[in-house]
């Protein structure tokens, strides 16, 4: 009997689990339970990432948590670029759980802030390697949902 994973496909953490399960050949039965925000006017949002974007955009006093400046948002890429320097994957030259977690998050981040291949060649090469790996297909359903939601906040 396969384990049951209670998750939402849009969650980077859930997608990381799906990629890991796919990579080791485990079939999971997803039962979707997610955080939900219901506004006074009846608007409903699900998934932690969508909720935090919404809350910061609607109720934030300034842009300190989600800067308006695209350059400031992109600075997180500099850290990942340095991490990938001299390696094919996050922790050396083979895929690890760190990659699954990072891939799920970075693939969603690029929806709002694309990684400039000239400035971040390690990240773009790493993402291309990930996209061509068999495990990546487990990331796609949630990423498509994430894209549909996050594009509203561009």
Higher pLDDT pick, 53 / 87: 87
Cβ(139)–Cβ(19) below 8 Å: yes
Q: State pLDDT tens for residues 133-146.
A: 999 999 999 899 98
- Give me the pLDDT at residue 125, please: 97
Question: For residue 147, what are its two tokens?
Answer: 């894209």
d(Cα 3, Cα 24) in Å, to the nearest integer? Answer: 13
Number of helices and strands in the chain (H, E): 6, 4
The secondary structure of residue 154, as a DSSP letter, is -
Lowest mean pLDDT among 22-26, 42-46, 79-83, 125-129: 42-46
Q: How confident is the model at residue 29 (pLDDT cuts 50, 70, 90)?
A: very low
Domains defined for the chain, CATH in brackets: 4-153 (1.20.1050.10)
Q: State pLDDT tens for residues 88-144.
A: 999 999 999 889 989 999 999 898 888 899 999 999 999 999 999 999 999 999 899
* Alpha helices (H) along the chain: 12-24, 48-59, 70-84, 97-112, 121-132, 140-150
């Amino acid at each position: 009997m396969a384990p049951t994973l209670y998750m939402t496909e849009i969650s980077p953490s859930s997608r990381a689990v799906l990629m890991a399960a796919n990579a080791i050949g485990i079939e999971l039965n997803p039962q979707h339970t997610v955080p939900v925000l219901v506004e006074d006017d009846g608007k409903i949002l699900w998934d932690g990432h969508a909720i935090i974007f919404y809350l910061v955009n609607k109720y934030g006093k300034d842009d300190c948590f989600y800067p308006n400046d695209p350059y400031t948002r992109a600075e997180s890429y500099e850290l990942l670029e340095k991490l990938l320097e001299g390696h094919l994957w996050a922790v050396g030259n083979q895929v690890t759980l760190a990659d699954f977690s990072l891939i799920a998050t970075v693939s969603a981040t690029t929806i709002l802030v694309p990684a400039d291949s000239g400035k971040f060649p390690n990240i773009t090469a790493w993402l291309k390697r990930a996209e061509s790996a068999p495990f990546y297909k487990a990331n796609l359903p949630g990423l498509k949902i994430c894209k549909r939601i996050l594009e509203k906040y561009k």
